[in-house]
Amino acid sequence: MEKKNLKALLYLLPALVFLGVFMVYPLIDVFVYSVEEGYNSASQIYFGHGLYNFSYVLHDPYFLMALKNTFLLVIITVPVSTGIALLFSVALSSIKKLRSLFQTIYFLPYVTNTLAVGLVFMILFRKTEYSDGLVNLMISWFGGESVDFITGPYWAKMFVLCFYTVWIVLPFKILILTSALASVNREYYDAARVDGTGRWRIFTKITLPMISPMIFYLVITGFIGAFKAYSDAVALFGTDLNAAEMNTIVGYIYDMLYGNSGGYPSYASAAAVLLFAIVLTITVINLMVSKKHVHY
């Protein structure tokens, strides 16, 4: 028995070492960092413990901007992408011809490099002195004014960021919802049809309740994912997100840690802890709401 224990431990050892060094230790450390005041990474000394780092971060205009951007992004993209995904998965489920072709196409954004395709979006949306760009050309077809979406007004930049985010996250949502729709028992539909129930009523009374756990799952993962948005913003607006007024919370953390404004791991840790607290709170609220509305 002794020998067996040792052997099991040997199998586990690599995983334990990796997780210990790169997950458990950092997890404890980040909370320690976040309460060490005036930490200097060069001399590795600090003045004392307290909540100063949090108060600094919460009063930093860049953090507040990042907070606002992130919340806007979350509030806009999560409902929009979930709604569109629902629409397209229902549409996909009600056709037979070309279905797998559409599914393949819809999934493509999932396997693309966010940074690389973001560059294409930037080129489609931006306006330079040499060219108004493609999107502005289309706007002009409908008689609209051209807008610089990349370095122009705030709402235009936010629109591109939301559009790109939705484009990126839809494949996953459509995939999950189409398989959820496929797993609804046919007999419910047959029974409803025998009773002469209308299409819309079938959808709201049978389909939606049956797939509600999956919709809920997507809303939660969507919230968490959108709160961590960062590389999509970098892809569109470049690495200096503060200057572009498009920074996100995660972007703020990395800027504090590294780069031109970096070298403040304590502030970065405080911001990371705040982000974690926000995500945790939202997830708990989501769970409480779902108890009321989700049918298992």
Site for other proteins in 136-175 (CB under 8 A): 137, 167-169, 171-173, 175
Min CB(29)–other proteins separation in Å: 4
| CA within 13 Å, CB half, 164 | 31
User: For residue 70, how far is the Cα from the chain centroid?
Assistant: 10
Nearest residue (CB) to other proteins, 92 versus 292:
92
Number of residues that bind other proteins (CB under 8 A): 90
Which residues does 27 contact at the CB level (< 8 Å), separation at least 6?
Answer: none
Nearest residue (CB) to other proteins, 15 versus 288:
15
Which tokens in the block code for residue 273? 């802890």
Question: Taking CB under 8 A as the criterion, which residues in 234-253 touch other proteins?
Answer: 234, 238-239, 250, 253
Nearest residue (CB) to other proteins, 4 versus 59:
4
Question: Taking CB under 8 A as the criterion, which residues in 44-83 touch other proteins?
Answer: none
Min CB(108)–other proteins separation in Å: 6
Q: DSSP states of 35-72 as a string?
A: HEET-BTTTTB--EESSHHHHHHHH-HHHHHHHHHHHH
Do 48 and 37 form a contact (C-beta atoms < 8 A)?
yes
| CA within 13 Å, CB half, 98 | 4
- Of the residues 46, 52, 102, 188, which one makes contact with other proteins according to CB under 8 A: 102
- Cα distance between the two ends of the chain: 43
Min CB(107)–other proteins separation in Å: 6
137-161 burial, b for 16+ CB within 10 Å, e for fewer?
eeeeeeeeeebbbbeeeeebbbebb
The window from 19-27, 60-68, 143-151, 202-210 that contacts other proteins (CB under 8 A) reads: 19-27
Min CB(53)–other proteins separation in Å: 12
The window from 64-72, 107-115, 200-208, 284-292 that contacts other proteins (CB under 8 A) reads: 107-115
Q: Residue 132, SS3? A: coil
For the chain, list the strands marked E by DSSP: 36-37, 48-49
Question: Taking CB under 8 A as the criterion, which residues in 253-272 touch other proteins?
Answer: 253-254, 257-258, 265, 268-269, 272
Nearest residue (CB) to other proteins, 58 versus 278:
278
